[in-house]
Amino acid sequence: MDLYSIGEFSRMSGLPVRTLRFYHDKGILPPTQVEAVTGYRFYSAKDLDVAQVVRSLRALDFSLETISKILADRTDDGDILEFLGQQAQYLQAEIQHRSDIVQTLESIITQETQARQFMDQSQTQVEEKNLEPILIGGIRMKGRYTDCGKTFGKLGRKLGRHISGKAMMLYYDGEYKEEDADFEPCMPLKRQVEAEGIHVRELPGGRAITLLHHGPFEELSRTYAHILEYAKSKDLTLKCPSREVYIKGPGMIFKGNPKRYITEIQFLVE
């Protein structure tokens, strides 16, 4: 393998000796051989390929840091053009990935902007009122909130003609939980009945603050923020369980339009 002094390589590559030394120090273009005693640098024909690539990238305003990253994984004996082809494929995939991220962000921005506008337009005022005691049948459970669908179906089948109002949910946690939430799907009842696995009892009434949420369940957090801010401003102590009454929501068969759902959030207060 023929080796060339740094001066010769400077002429071959079109890079000043000073620049070649700098690139060596930065690990971007190390010589093939460095003499231990003299420290003289010697380059090979393969180094010339790398030098031309570095020159081209610099001409395109690539930073030395970026060039260093592009070349970092290349093996010393690997073909530089083949390596750059692999890098181009990687970058193309990265561009597509980032394009997907941009589209996702734009979708989130649009969704959140619409949700905020909708809340500003439709947000009703927090009401303070007295809730009457009601007879309910419920099944207390732990898990994800989305697990409630099958339980509501079970309540509907077992309580059927005894149901006297809108489905509701009791939340026993003082925080939002993803996996082990403690909640109870319930149905209001006309009279006392017995049904296996269903806890039938009177749900106490009392002074409460309530607020209507218009829209999908996924956006309930906005309405919770509004009612909790109200409670804080009035120095009210909230009692557990909190309640959600599904005035208008998905039916037993058809989901309906989530944008038209109406949910009343209720907190008994002290």
Instruction: Answer positive or negative: Cα dihedral of 220, 223, 227, 229.
Output: positive
pLDDT tens column, 196-212: 999 999 999 999 999 99
pLDDT at 43: 93
The Cα angle at residue 163 between residues 160 and 164, in degrees rounded to 5? 150
SS3 122: helix
Long-range CB pairs of 253-260 (<8 Å, 24+ gap) are: 258/215, 258/216, 258/217, 258/218, 259/118, 259/215, 259/216, 260/214
pLDDT at 159: 92
pLDDT tens column, 207-260: 999 999 988 888 888 889 889 999 999 999 999 999 999 988 776 545 667 778
pLDDT at 67: 84
pLDDT at 200: 96
Spans of the chain, pLDDT less than 50: 253
